[in-house]
Amino acid sequence: MLATLTEERFSREGWVFEPKWDGERCLVFRHGGELRLYSRHRKLLNERYPELVAAFRRQENDSFIADGEIVTFQDGVTSFAKLQQRMQLERPPPELVRKVPVWFYLFDLLYLDRYDIRKVPLKYRKELLRKTLEFKDRLQFTEHRETEGEAYYRQACRRHWEGCHRQE
């Protein structure tokens, strides 16, 4: 569940290029009425992000496991520092939920209904993800590219996205 830092920038057929969000990685498990959000350290996050739990409960499909990142923004860029205000509290008060709004950017679908789809190529899992969930309000689809990785990296650096360690 962790990104790998590399100095190599490339465009290569068969690769998917997407933003690296600066937030809290999260897996969503939904099966019928049961819904659980887990951090990469296997901490249950439901109480910390009630608005995300509500957004996932509104989904029509009730059997999936999805992967994504919980983020908040500061001046149009994801801000881990701002998100920490929410991450530190088990049950944030309503005024903090309003002050530090969060979004869930989904980028992968691992299970759908009773099927493990982890061996399906990522670009097809992303297509299934887009068709399976309704993306609005607090739930967002992570857009991606399949070409021009170097150009996408330069664009990310100009926008001050996470993962850029030097300006190009």
Q: Which of 20, 43, 126, 131 is catalytic?
A: 20
Mean pLDDT across the stretch 58-72?
Answer: 96
pLDDT of 88 reads 87
Query: Above 90 in pLDDT, residue 109?
Result: yes
Instruction: With CA atoms as reference, report the closest residue to 87 among 49, 115, 127.
Output: 49
pLDDT digits (tens, 9 = 90+) for 1-52: 445 556 666 666 666 667 778 899 999 999 999 999 999 999 999 999 999 9
Query: Above 90 in pLDDT, residue 106?
Result: yes
Q: Is 20 among the residues known to form the active site?
A: yes
Residues with Cβ within 8 Å of residue 149, at least 6 apart in sequence:
9, 10, 11, 12, 15, 17
pLDDT digits (tens, 9 = 90+) for 148-165: 666 666 666 676 667 666
What is the rounded distance in angstroms from the CA atom of residue 61 to the CA atom of residue 137?
A: 17
What is the rounded distance in angstroms from the CA atom of residue 165 to the CA atom of residue 39?
A: 25
* DSSP character at residue 118: T
Judge whether 150 and 12 are in contact, CB under 8 Å: no
pLDDT of 157 reads 67
Torsion on CA atoms 116, 118, 119, 120, rounded to nearest 10:
90
What is the rounded distance in angstroms from the CA atom of residue 71 to the CA atom of residue 161?
A: 13
Domains of the chain, start order? 24-158 (3.30.470.30)
